[in-house]
Amino acid sequence: MSRPDAHECVSRSGADARAAGPGRPRRILFLVSSMHGGGAERVAATLANAWARRGDEVTLVCCYSGRGRCDQVLDPAVRLLWLADRVRGPAWLRPVAKLAALRRLARECRPDRVLSFLTNVNVTALLALRGLGLPIVVGERTDPAHSVNLEPVLRRLRRWTYPWARRVAVQTRRGAVHLLRVAPGVRRLAVIPNPLPDGLPACRVREPAGPRYTLAALGRFNPVKQFDRLIECFAALAPQCPDWDLCIWGDGAQRDACLRRVRELGLESRIRLPGFSRTPWEDLAAAHAFVLNSRVEGFPNALLEAMALGLPCVATDCPSGPSELTLGGRLAELVPLDDEAALGAALLRVMRAAPAEREARGRAAAGSVRSRYGLDAVLRAWDDAWTEADGTIGAADGDDAPRPAP
């Protein structure tokens, strides 16, 4: 059978759309904002690729009005579409035209399942597909109580539309509590953490040899990541650890300002900001420790992957994710939010530790997260999210790992 064109979906009968049962290929319509270099996009690529490899028909739709580009590696079987290619009309009519275009696309694809990521895309999907009888699961990708840059109208629309979803998925138990505060009408929740990506290298046996050592960070340069504060913290510690350097991979609006600050500090040889990494696992594996200094996270992929690769880690106890990932600080240095002294002290402990001690910490953390966040377990949790069972499914009260629906 010939493969459908990469820019079109195959129209099927309603009876065929309902035919997919357990163990049979499913048609999945996966809606995202973009496929740029962020954490949500990496998770979307991981899930889409895994479903395509098991035989499901996956259509991945970028809903960003400006179209954009794809920075993620996708399986050839994943069909990638840009909704902007289907939206016509004057700019003032684009919001309505986008809803109509998405509704037409869903009717063409006749998916068995619809998954949407990010609040603005979730609301768009629930409005556009209302009344089509499609099972829609929407995923919040940050802590709902600490959503940044969320306009009041979008907050109200989230509260109004989320109860229409088959299920609302959050990434942590804390996030589930917060979701019910902002959308109290939701009756079906799933707690599904991010999976370790397929193809992640094995935990390293030993850290790279000196004589210089690298403290790594990775993410978008935006206020939430607080890379500017991390630079100031490291600058204060640099004289005490002359053989350590800081390297922050990523791009974003604040990167230029951070580069200027590094130059002002005269630390160009000690603090590197090389930009977006297309080989993040290799870059992390070449480092000696990892730090996450975020103010808010949904579920920090960079921390998860650094731990899985065997790096000793330092993280702020921000909402949400670091506490659950590190088992309350047993697997990494977990410091209070906005406590610069505690962050500096934790970084000093890691940088001054013997290599063997750092390696032992890294191996313990890697063993834990690899057992709790494996891709197969997370895929089963997503499959369970489309069940009609009421209540919350996913992580149990004392366990972050996914479990089957009741």
Mean pLDDT (the chain) is 89
Chain mean position to CA 20? 28
**Cα 146 to the center of its chain, rounded Å:** 15
Angstrom distance (rounded) from CA 247 to CA 40: 22
d(CA 300, CA 219): 9
pLDDT interval class at 213 (50, 70, 90): very high
Q: Which of 79, 167, 183, 219 is nearest to 384 (CA)?
A: 167
Which distant-in-sequence residues (6+ apart) come within 8 Å of 88 by Cβ? 97
Q: Residue 16 — very low, low, confident or very high, per pLDDT cuts 50/70/90?
A: very low
**pLDDT tens-digit map of 265-313:** 999 999 999 999 989 999 999 999 999 999 988 789 999 999 999 999 9
CB atoms within 10 A of CB 74: 17
* Segment 245-263 mean pLDDT: 97
pLDDT at 192 over 80: yes
Residues 75-125 have pLDDT tens digits of: 999 999 999 999 988 888 888 999 999 999 999 999 999 999 999 999 999
Domain ranges of the chain: 14-195+375-394, 213-372
Residue 401 pLDDT greater than 50, yes or no: no
What's 213-372's CATH class? alpha beta
Architecture of domain 14-195+375-394: 3-Layer(aba) Sandwich (3.40)
